[in-house]
């Protein structure tokens, strides 16, 4: 069979299963082979019940088993089935529980035999949640991202069916010289062991091979983007006197870091080569002012400047600031505007009556025609792919491109991820802001913390965020607070105006809620991470993060940056039920440091670049999924190998580069870090 053959050609994958796999973006044999597991459970040997650790996924041997019981308790206002059974292995007793799975009773063994594996919960006695029975230890068990209608068992059997069909028929994808020089395993071995490894050692070999190849390909693609840009001829803007004129418009003095980057922007925009620059800086570090300066230079030379924001309410916020500086020369275009309003703005843009245009993705839709577009700016780079930026850029004659991101990425990793961009780092915060005091709150103090927040909101008139890792409760993560459950709890418990915000709401509803919070009509906002890209709310002085262990350090630092945007005392409270040393260490890092880049460097060391970028949770097939497994040493080695290939005059090397670019040509335009 061929890699591009359909999954329905595989025995055991019928139309219904294929439909579910399609919801994960898996349609071909290639897709599923490169769909990396999120993690692996090492279930090669059983653990004794007496040695179980809270939160771990483990397997135990069944030496004794009681008769199962079925109860129907009231949970969250509705009656729910609860199947439970007690087992023992001679070292202790363990209670197995299953919610909303009454059918599980038929699979519970009548007598002591075999094993059971599942998630361990020691918070209320020794409990294993949603255990699965097996005759023998299953070895290294892969755990995949799932979708509606697809369980782990179905996913694993689908992958096994494809692996069995492809056994021994993999074509090598790297030159022999690369494999030999860097001691890499074969592609077939890597694919088989990334799914069902024999041991942690074979899993490590597979991860290294896939990480290396993907980083190599990724670098080659970025270099091709850089080469494409270097061949373009752009606009050479007049920057003489621009800085002095712009600074007179500002009610404050920029930081030294902002002044330095203003100089870098001037140099780029004077050049006839198109600017392609990324500005990295913490939330609230002053990136927007730098974007406005680039727009000011373009407008001063008679060109239009477009700023694309990820949300309507953020676009509106930028527009108000632009209007205060430049009056009617600024315009706003969003999808939520009335058709008549949109048409009026489109006409002004086409005629060149406005120079400062800000909007959402409406700016890249058909029907938006600029008269003289000179620069394209995107806010929060990780929300837009290369293709979207290219569409906006194609509306002008090789316009300059400026990208802003609040995601702190270590310098070493930036070389790999942003190989097609020049990177500026904004490390200072504007004056007048107090550092956010960060505290760990143990589970037994959670209720007291929320009473304290209620008092602070009432007495000081401030506002607060509560961020949860998921929208609704999950049977797989019974100890993890969801936004919906926390909202219901706090709405009933606290005497403050409370609202719920998450990604499943319609964009217009999300904007309405955020506007209400910005305008002070909501005291406490319960949310998922959608508020990472939010509005500036100086009155928001408290950030609570539930289930801190479910977030990365860099992400937690970004969330913390949503408060402390004024001279008021601000706090970030971190909650976690986890007792793991790694979680304690990460919380300690946040408590002791407010430097986003320092935190990102520590995150890189403790969790690796894949998790730091948020890639591991997605399990994306193809080039980006492989980066999730990378350690920094492998990424750097692969990048060096790619640069060596590019500089090589070897005929085989040039052919490999052409083949790589051709293979990933569709993904080339979708490069974006999420």
The domain spans of the chain are: 1-38+144-164, 45-136, 253-270+286-405, 437-593
* Tens-digit pLDDT profile for residues 432-454: 677 899 999 998 999 999 999 99
Per DSSP, 147 falls in state: B
Quick one: pLDDT at residue 363? 82
Q: What are phi and psi of 672, to 5 degrees?
A: -160, 140
> What are the phi and psi torsion angles at 306 (to 5°)?
-115, 130
Element (H, E) at 308: strand 304-308
- What does the pLDDT average to over 527-535? 75
- CA separation for the pair 226, 220 (Å, rounded): 10
Radius of gyration (Cα) for the chain, nearest Å?
Answer: 27
Question: Which residue bears the tokens 């890209």?
Answer: 533
pLDDT for the residue numbered 326:
94
pLDDT in tens, 112-151: 999 999 999 988 889 999 999 999 999 999 999 888 888 8
Average pLDDT, the chain: 85
Residue 482 has pLDDT above 60, yes or no: yes
Residues 488, 478, 145, CA angle at the centre, nearest 5°?
A: 110
Lookup: tokens for 519? 């305008």
Average pLDDT over residues 640-661: 87
- CATH tag for 437-593 (out of 3.40.630.30, 3.60.15.30, 3.40.50.620, 3.40.50.300): 3.40.50.300
**Is residue 477 packed enough to be buried (19+ CB in 10 Å), middle (13-18) or exposed (0-12)?**
middle
Distance of alpha carbon 229 from alpha carbon 208, whole angstroms: 31
The shares of helix, strand and coil residues in the chain, as percent rounded to the nearest 5, are 45, 20, 35
More confident residue, 313 or 226: 313
Share of the chain above pLDDT 70, in %: 86
Q: Work out the pLDDT band at 342, boundaries 50, 70, 90.
A: very high
State the pairing for strand pair 93-99/127-134: parallel
Give the model's pLDDT for residue 615.
Answer: 40
Give pLDDT, residue 483: 92
Per-residue pLDDT, 672: 38
Residues 198-210: tens digit of each pLDDT: 999 999 999 999 9
- State what percent of residues in the chain have pLDDT above 90: 48
pLDDT at 305 over 90: yes
**Is 57 in a helix, a strand, or coil?**
strand
Angle between helices 651-663 and 200-230 (to 10 degrees): 90
pLDDT at 181: 93
Q: Would you say 416 and 639 are in contact if contact means Cβ atoms under 8 Å apart?
A: yes
Distance CA 9, CA 16 (A): 13
Q: What pLDDT is recorded for position 666? A: 65
Confidence of residue 620 (pLDDT cuts 50, 70, 90): very low
DSSP character for 570? -
- State the Cα–Cα distance between residues 76 and 384, nearest whole angstrom: 39
Rounded Cα distance, 201 and 206, in Å: 9
Average of pLDDT values for 463-473? Answer: 90
DSSP-assigned states of every residue in 509-530: HHHHHHHHHHTTS-SEEEE-GG
Coil, strand or helix: which one is 313? helix
What is the average per-residue pLDDT within 369-394? 70
Distance (Å, whole) CA 602 – CA 350: 48
How many residues make up the chain in this entry? 674
pLDDT, residue 613, reads 46
What pLDDT, on the 0 to 100 scale, is given for residue 479?
59
Q: Check residue 383 and give its pLDDT.
A: 47
Closest of 500, 596, 607 to residue 556, by C-alpha: 596
What's the confidence (pLDDT) of residue 582?
74
Q: Which two tokens stand for residue 18?
A: 């294929």
Running DSSP on this structure, what letter comes out for residue 125? B
3-state class of 402 per DSSP?
strand
pLDDT of residue 549: 87
pLDDT digits (tens, 9 = 90+) for 271-298: 988 888 889 887 778 899 999 999 999 9
Q: Does position 415 have pLDDT exceeding 60, yes or no?
A: yes
pLDDT of amino acid 665: 67
User: Nearest 5°: phi and psi at 335?
Assistant: -70, -20
Mean pLDDT of 577-597: 82
d(CA 29, CA 660): 19
> How far is 646 from 98, CA to CA, in rounded Å?
56
Residue 612 has pLDDT above 50, yes or no: no
Distance CA 298, CA 211 (A): 41
Report residue 481: phi and psi, to 5°: -65, 135
253-270+286-405 and 437-593 in the same fold: yes
Partner residues linked to 470 by β-bridges: 482
pLDDT at residue 231 tops 90:
no
Per DSSP, the residues of 70-86 read EE--EETTEE--EEEEE
Q: What are the backbone angles phi and psi of residue 515, rounded to the nearest 5°?
A: -65, -40
Please name the residue that has the structure tokens 């499943």.
504
- The CATH number of the structural domain formed by 253-270+286-405 is 3.40.50.300
Whether the predicted pLDDT of 658 surpasses 50: yes
Q: Six-digit token pair at 111? A: 């007598």
Q: 285: closest CA among 465, 433, 412, 439? A: 433
Q: Give how far Cα 318 sits from Cα of 285, 321, 397, 504, Å.
A: 15, 5, 25, 25
Does pLDDT of 29 surpass 60?
A: yes
Q: Identify the H or E element spanning 607.
A: helix 596-612
Residues 445, 231: Cα–Cα separation, whole Å: 60
Tell me how crowded residue 236 is: count the other CB atoms within 10 A of its CB. 12
User: Domain 45-136 falls in which CATH fold?
Assistant: OB fold (Dihydrolipoamide Acetyltransferase, E2P) (2.40.50)
């Amino acid at each position: 069979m061929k890699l591009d053959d359909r999954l329905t050609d595989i025995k055991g994958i019928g139309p219904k299963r294929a439909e579910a796999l399609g919801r994960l973006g898996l349609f071909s044999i290639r897709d599923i082979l490169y769909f990396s597991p999120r993690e692996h459970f090492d279930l090669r040997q059983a653990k004794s019940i007496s040695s179980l650790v809270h939160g771990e996924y483990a397997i135990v041997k069944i030496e004794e088993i009681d008769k199962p019981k079925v109860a129907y308790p009231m949970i969250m206002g509705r009656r729910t089935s609860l199947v439970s059974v007690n087992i023992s292995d001679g070292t202790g007793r363990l209670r197995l529980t299953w919610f909303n799975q009454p059918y599980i009773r038929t699979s519970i063994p009548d007598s002591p035999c075999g094993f059971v594996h599942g998630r361990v919960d020691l918070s209320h006695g020794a409990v294993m949640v949603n255990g699965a029975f097996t005759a023998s230890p299953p070895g290294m068990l892969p755990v995949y991202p799932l979708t509606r209608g697809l369980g782990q068992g179905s996913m694993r059997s689908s992958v096994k069916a494809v692996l069995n069909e492809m056994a021994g028929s993999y074509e090598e994808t790297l030159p022999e010289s690369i494999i030999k020089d860097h001691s890499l395993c074969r592609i077939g071995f890597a694919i088989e062991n990334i799914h069902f490894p024999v041991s942690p050692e074979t899993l490590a070999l597979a991860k290294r091979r896939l990480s290396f190849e993907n980083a190599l390909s990724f670098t080659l693609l970025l270099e091709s983007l850089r080469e494409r840009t270097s061949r373009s001829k752009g606009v050479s803007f007049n920057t003489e006197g621009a800085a002095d004129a712009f600074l007179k418009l500002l009610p404050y003095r920029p930081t030294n870091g902002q002044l330095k980057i203003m100089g870098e922007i001037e140099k780029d925009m004077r050049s006839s080569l198109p600017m392609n620059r990324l500005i990295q800086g913490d939330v609230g570090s002053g990136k927007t002012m730098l974007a406005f300066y680039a727009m000011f230079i373009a407008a001063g030379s008679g060109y239009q400047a477009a700023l694309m924001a990820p949300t309507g309410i953020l676009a509106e916020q930028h527009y108000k600031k632009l209007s205060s500086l430049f009056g009617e020369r600024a315009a706003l275009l969003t999808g939520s505007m009335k058709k008549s309003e949109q048409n009026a703005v489109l006409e002004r843009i086409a005629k060149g009556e406005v120079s400062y245009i800000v909007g959402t993705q409406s700016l890249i839709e058909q029907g938006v025609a600029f008269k003289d577009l000179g620069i394209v700016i995107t806010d929060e780079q990780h929300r837009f792919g290369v293709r979207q930026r290219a569409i906006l850029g194609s509306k002008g004659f090789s316009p300059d491109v400026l990208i802003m991101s609040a995601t702190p990425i270590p310098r070493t990793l930036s070389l790999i991820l942003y190989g097609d961009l020049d990177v500026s780092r904004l490390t200072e915060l504007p004056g007048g802001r107090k550092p956010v005091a960060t505290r760990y709150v143990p589970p037994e103090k959670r209720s007291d913390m929320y009473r304290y927040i209620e008092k602070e909101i009432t007495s000081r008139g401030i506002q607060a965020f509560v961020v949860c890792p998921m929208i609704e409760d999950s049977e797989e993560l019974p100890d993890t607070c969801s936004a919906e459950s926390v909202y219901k709890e706090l709405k009933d418990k606290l005497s403050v105006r409370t609202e719920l915000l998450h990604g499943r709401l319609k964009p217009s509803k999300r904007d309405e809620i955020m506007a209400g919070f910005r305008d002070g009509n909501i005291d406490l906002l319960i949310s998922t991470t959608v508020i990472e890209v939010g509005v500036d709310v100086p009155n928001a002085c408290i950030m609570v993060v539930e289930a801190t262990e479910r977030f990365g350090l860099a992400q937690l630092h970004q969330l913390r940056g949503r408060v402390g945007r004024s001279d008021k005392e601000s706090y970030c409270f971190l909650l976690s039920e986890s007792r793991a040393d790694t979680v304690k260490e990460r919380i300690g890092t946040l408590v002791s440091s407010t430097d986003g880049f320092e935190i990102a460097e520590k995150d890189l060391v403790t969790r690796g670049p894949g998790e730091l970028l948020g890639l591991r949770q997605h399990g994306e097939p193809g080039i980006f999924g492989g980066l999730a497994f990378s350690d920094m040493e492998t990424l750097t080695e692969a990048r060096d190998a790619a640069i060596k290939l590019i500089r090589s005059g070897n005929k085989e090397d040039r052919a490999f580069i052409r083949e790589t670019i051709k293979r990933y040509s569709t993904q080339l335009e979708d490069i974006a870090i999420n």
